[in-house]
Amino acid sequence: MRERDTIRSERIYRQYLGFFDKAEQERRWNPYRDVPWDRVERGGSEELATVAETFCAVESYLPDYVSKGLNLVRQSFGQAWFSANWAYEESKHTVVLIEYLMRSGRRTPEQVFDLQERLRRVEWMLPFDTARRMTIYGCLQEMATFVIYMRQAERAKREGDEVLHGIFRLIGRDEMAHTHFYGDVVKVLLEEDRAETLDDIAHVFSHFQMPGVGIVPEYDARIEIMRKAGIDRALFLQKICFPVLKYLGVTRSELRFTRAAQGSE
Ligand SMILES: [Fe+2]
Ligand SMILES: [Fe+2]
């Protein structure tokens, strides 16, 4: 009988192939050609510019996310390949937001590159140290990012910025696809060892933080602006946690009985 790790690795690789093929067929987009830059608004609100810049800042830690994340899953063939493709998709998010900030005249090239320099001074660290916890974190984080992009997309639309609305929607579609891939891997892990995986889900949910906390300059002031169309605790549970649990096929009562939820890890 083959090793459990090899079987899992093959299953996840096949999931990756499905993800990749679907992405190639339905989701590829180009930051230069698929955004109607000739219609970009100049002179919109500073708050909206800060929203776009804050997303851009969080996305800009990509080199840290990739190097550390990839290293943690390198034993899992499919997840490692996913990380490489994920990095390509995420890199477009930074590129399109930088283009928006400069083409809309909201930020000068000097301001954009100065912020990038400041971002490079602090390193993002892995919030969890096992592949399983980071996979669960990936699922929750991508879902949170999707919901936040969608809420800010509505705000951009209300303020009449159609181009930014379209950009946030393009990015959001990628974030949802990432949520599903991570979720599909978590489902395999649940099948393999439900009790331990549930325990990790409870642990990650109770220690969850967005990746920009503490490393993006002026984070608190930025979040204050984001929050005007943002999410509070109740919405976090309703729009992010509960849909993720539903996708994973996990009930809230199952989580309540884990060691992590009962504080005896
Ligand atoms: Fe992204
Ligand atoms: Fe993503």
Residue with the larger pLDDT of the pair 209 and 92: 92
Q: Per-residue pLDDT tens for 171-186?
A: 999 999 999 999 999 9
Ligand closest to the CA atom of residue 60: 1
> Do the Cβ atoms of 13 and 77 come closer than 8 Å?
yes
Q: What is the pLDDT of residue 265?
A: 63
Q: What is the pLDDT of residue 37?
A: 97
Structure tokens at 246: 């539903």
Q: What is the pLDDT of residue 264?
A: 65
Q: Per-residue pLDDT tens for 10-51?
A: 999 999 999 999 999 999 999 999 999 999 988 778 999 999
Q: What is the pLDDT of residue 42?
A: 85
Structure tokens at 108: 């000068």
Mean pLDDT (the chain) is: 93
Residue 14 CA to residue 152 CA, distance in Å, equals 34
Q: Per-residue pLDDT tens for 48-78?
A: 999 999 999 999 999 999 999 999 998 888 9
Mean pLDDT of 85-96: 97
Residue 1 pLDDT greater than 70, yes or no: no
Distance (angstroms) between ligand 1 centre and the Cα of 255 equals 28
Ligand closest to the CA atom of residue 176: 2
Say whether domain 4-256 belongs to CATH 1.10.760.10: no
What residues have CB less than 8 Å from 103, skipping those under 6 apart? 37, 40
Q: Per-residue pLDDT tens for 227-258?
A: 776 677 888 899 999 999 999 999 999 998 88
Distance (angstroms) between ligand 1 centre and the Cα of 193 equals 30
Q: What is the pLDDT of residue 8?
A: 87
Which of 146, 168, 147 lies closest to 157, judged by CA?
A: 168
Distance (angstroms) between ligand 2 centre and the Cα of 184 equals 15
Angle between helices 77-103 and 46-59 (to 10 degrees): 150
Distance (angstroms) between ligand 2 centre and the Cα of 259 equals 30
Ligand closest to the CA atom of residue 61: 1
Ligand closest to the CA atom of residue 93: 1
Distance (angstroms) between ligand 2 centre and the Cα of 91 equals 10
**What does the domain layout of the chain look like in residue ranges?**
4-256
Ligand closest to the CA atom of residue 94: 1
Distance (angstroms) between ligand 1 centre and the Cα of 210 equals 12
Residue 223 pLDDT greater than 70, yes or no: yes
3-state helix, strand, coil in the chain (%, to 5): 75, 0, 25
Distance (angstroms) between ligand 2 centre and the Cα of 89 equals 8
